Amino acid sequence: MEPVFIVLIIFGSIASLFLVPRYLKSVERQRMAETLRLAIEKGQPLPTEIIDAMSSNVRAPGLPPSPQRDLRIGIIWLGVGVGFAALGLTLSFEEPDALFPFLGVASFPIFIGLAFIALGLLNRPKS
């Protein structure tokens, strides 16, 4: 039963790295929208700073990501893959059969990272 908990903790922590920030941002946006709604209902003018802050992190649909963003995402995915490979290598000292499955799992984020890095390098502006 202990190995099941270990696996759940590992994958739960990885999932929480992506889900918790999204949830917190969603809660923050809901609170901001509620505050704006109350201000509009009371007839108060809205400062332009608030409107700019609400729309600053919104991407227009159809716009391609920037090459710099692709490079950052690629490096992060590459780091995740290398982390899985290092975990497999570390675990293989105690359990020799653990290396190859972890290398297999690590290959997916590594190749995703390499693809993002290639996109970032290929889409650089020519100047």
Q: How many domains does the chain contain in total?
A: 2
77, 22: one domain: no
For 117, the token pair is: 């890095």
Q: What is the pLDDT of residues 6-27, one digit of tens each?
A: 888 888 888 888 888 889 989 9
127, 74: one domain: yes
37, 78: one domain: no
Residue type at 19 in one-letter notation:
L
pTM of the model: 0.54
Taking residue 39's Cβ as centre, other Cβ atoms within 10 Å add up to 14
Radius of gyration of the chain (CA): 22
Tokens 């290959």 sit at which residue? Answer: 107
78, 115: one domain: yes
46, 100: one domain: no
**Distant-in-sequence, close-in-space partners of 112: CB < 8 Å, separation ≥ 6:** 74, 77, 81
Q: What is the pLDDT of residues 24-49, one digit of tens each?
A: 989 988 998 888 888 888 888 877 77
**Distant-in-sequence, close-in-space partners of 78: CB < 8 Å, separation ≥ 6:** 109, 110, 113, 114, 117
Q: What is the pLDDT of residues 93-121, one digit of tens each?
A: 999 898 999 999 999 999 999 999 999 99
The pLDDT value given to residue 61:
56
Residue 97: inside a domain: yes
72, 38: one domain: no
Question: Which residues form the domain of 77?
Answer: 65-127
